Chain A
Amino acid sequence: MTAKKNRTAYVNARLLDPASGLDAKGALLTEGGEILDLGPKLFADGVPDGIERIDCQGHCLAPGLIDARVQLREPGYEHKETMTTASLAAASGGVTTMLCLPNTDPVIDGVALVELVKRRALDAGLINVHPYAALTQGLGGEQITEMGLLAEAGAVAFTDGIATVANAMTFRRALDYARTFDLLIVQHPEDPALANGGVMNEGELATRLGLAGIPTAAETILVERDLRLLELTGGRYHAAHLSTADAIEAVRRAKKKGLNVTCETAPPYFALNETAVGDYRTFAKLSPPLRDETDREAVIEGLKDGTIDLIASDHAPHDQDSKRLPFVQAENGIVGLETLLPLTLELVHNGSLPLLRALEAVTVAPARVFRLAGGVLAKGKPADLVLFDLEKPWKIDVERFRSKSKNSPFDGRPVQGVVLRTVAAGQPAFVQE
Chain B
Amino acid sequence: MNKIVSNTFFPHGHLLGIEGLLAGEISSLLDLSESHVEQNRQANKKRPLLQGRTVINLFFESSTRTRTSFELACKRLGADVINMSVSTSAIKKGETLLDTAMTLNAMHPDVLVVRHPHSGAVKLLSEKVACSVINAGDGSHEHPTQALLDALTIRRRKKRLQGLRVAICGDVLHSRVARSNIHLLNTMGANVCVVAPVTLLPIDIERLGVEIFHDMAQGLKGCDIVMMLRLQRERMNGNFIPSLREYFRFFGLDAEKLASAKPDALIMHPGPMNRGVEIDSEVADDIARSVIHEQVEMGVAVRMACLETVIQAAETKGKAAP
Q: Which residues of A contact B (CB under 8 A)?
A: 137, 142-149, 169-170, 173-174, 176-177, 179-181, 233
Q: Check A180–B214 contact: CB distance below 8 A.
A: yes
B130 on the A face (CB < 8 A): no
Q: Which residues of B contact A181 (CB under 8 A)?
A: 214, 250
B60 on the A face (CB < 8 A): no
With A148-B250, A180-B214 known as contacts, the answer to whether A173 contacts B199 (CB < 8 A) is yes
Inter-chain CA distance A181–B249, complex, in Å, is 13
B283 on the A face (CB < 8 A): no
**Residues of A contacting B: mostly:** helix
Q: Check A177–B238 contact: CB distance below 8 A.
A: no
In the assembled complex, the CB of B118 is this many whole angstroms from the nearest CB of chain A, namely 21
In the complex, what residue of chain B is closest to A145 when comparing beta carbons?
B242
Within 8 A of A (CB), among B236-257: 238-243, 245-246, 249-250
Choose one: B199, B238, B243, B245; the contact of A180 (CB below 8 Å).
Answer: B199
In the assembled complex, the CB of B96 is this many whole angstroms from the nearest CB of chain A, namely 31
In the assembled complex, the CB of A367 is this many whole angstroms from the nearest CB of chain B, namely 25
Q: Check A143–B242 contact: CB distance below 8 A.
A: yes
Q: Which residues of B contact A145 (CB under 8 A)?
A: 242
With A143-B239, A173-B239, A180-B214 known as contacts, the answer to whether A148 contacts B246 (CB < 8 A) is yes
Given contacts A148-B250, A169-B238, 5 further A-B contacts (CB under 8 A): A144-B239, A144-B242, A173-B238, A176-B197, A179-B214
Q: Check A176–B199 contact: CB distance below 8 A.
A: yes
Inter-chain CA distance A273–B250, complex, in Å, is 47
With A169-B238, A180-B214, A181-B214 known as contacts, the answer to whether A146 contacts B243 (CB < 8 A) is yes
Inter-chain CA distance A57–B239, complex, in Å, is 57
* 29 sample A-B contacts, Cβ–Cβ < 8 Å, listed by A number: A143-B239, A143-B242, A145-B242, A146-B246, A147-B242, A148-B249, A148-B250, A149-B246, A149-B249, A169-B238, A169-B239, A170-B239, A173-B238, A173-B239, A173-B240, A174-B239, A176-B197, A176-B198, A176-B199, A177-B197, A177-B198, A177-B240, A177-B241, A177-B242, A179-B198, A180-B197, A180-B199, A181-B250, A233-B198
Inter-chain CA distance A50–B238, complex, in Å, is 63
Inter-chain CA distance A145–B242, complex, in Å, is 5
In the assembled complex, the CB of B25 is this many whole angstroms from the nearest CB of chain A, namely 37
Q: Which residues of A contact B197 (CB under 8 A)?
A: 176-177, 180
Q: Which residues of B contact A146 (CB under 8 A)?
A: 242-243, 245-246
Inter-chain CA distance A148–B238, complex, in Å, is 18
Within 8 A of A (CB), among B250-298: 250
Q: Which residues of B contact A148 (CB under 8 A)?
A: 246, 249-250
Within 8 A of A (CB), among B57-82: none
